[in-house]
Amino acid sequence: MHKICSINIRPEDRESIEFLKSIIENLSRKGVKVLLPEYKILAEAGLSGYISNWEQFRSQPDLVISLGGDGTLLHTVRLVPDGVPVFSINKGRLGFLTEFMPDEALNYLDKIINKEYKIEERDMLEITHMRGSNELSRIPFLNDVAVSRGVYSRPITMFLEIDGKPLNYFSGDGLIVSTTTGSTAYSLSAGGPIINPVIKGIFLIMPICPHTLAMRPLIIPGNSILKIRLGSDFSDTVMTVDGHDSISVHGDDELFFSSSRKKAGLIAHPDKNFYEVLKQKFSWGKQYNAF
């Protein structure tokens, strides 16, 4: 049985407070200690007794609940230690990753507390940002990293290497590096393929509006090291990690992508699979009987 549960929401999500209170009441009734992040709205809602410091919130739980949309889940996964299962409840819009809806989540909560669930392990990647010999950041991500131009209308140029060998260079609006989980996110909007997220050991390179038809989406082994060097010195070129971190990238900066040791352990919905989610989100199959 799980003993300590951290619950994460969007810092400004006041609409979820009442539902959050019902989850806390349910967990507390079963003897589960609840930890909440240091968000102002939680203190204002009278939940100060559950608020912990960030170190406790991140290190102590043996179960984590993400209450929000896919963005909240992506942020939550990066907060918690490797191996801690994450139960995602969808309070957002699309919800490709957050499969449990609020009206059913409480019904599943008892089984989850008692560890009666299946874990779906998802690969994560890691981005290392170098400027000269200085490492500016090293960030694991579950969905994707997008390198894109800012307000300038001019294309940006990028040089690509795989495992130390030159691959290609191209100009365009940018580039997306995606995990299999992220194939249904920004990459899909840019025309990339849908990949079942339980497929392991690969990642996707997706150009954004390249200025040549020869630059196509590319799937490479997960043990590869992809290096991207920017050849355009625009002051507002931006690297966005999982839609959360927005980092300025300069000309001649180098970005290294590799497999991360960290894995995301998502509690799987017992009555859905990836293809059922696709059918629901894209309205597939509704005209099947018309043929």
| Catalytic residue set | 70
d(Cα 249, Cα 137) in Å, to the nearest integer?
Answer: 11
Strands (E), the chain: 4-9, 33-35, 63-68, 86-90, 119-131, 134-141, 144-148, 156-162, 165-178, 202-210, 218-221, 226-230, 238-241, 245-248, 254-267
Pull the structure tokens for residue 89.
């409840």
Interior angle at CA 133, CA 127 and CA 134, nearest 5: 60
d(Cα 267, Cα 255) in Å, to the nearest integer?
Answer: 32
d(Cα 160, Cα 203) in Å, to the nearest integer?
Answer: 15
Tokens 């999500």 identify what position?
Answer: 13
Parallel, antiparallel or unpaired: strands 4-9 and 33-35: parallel
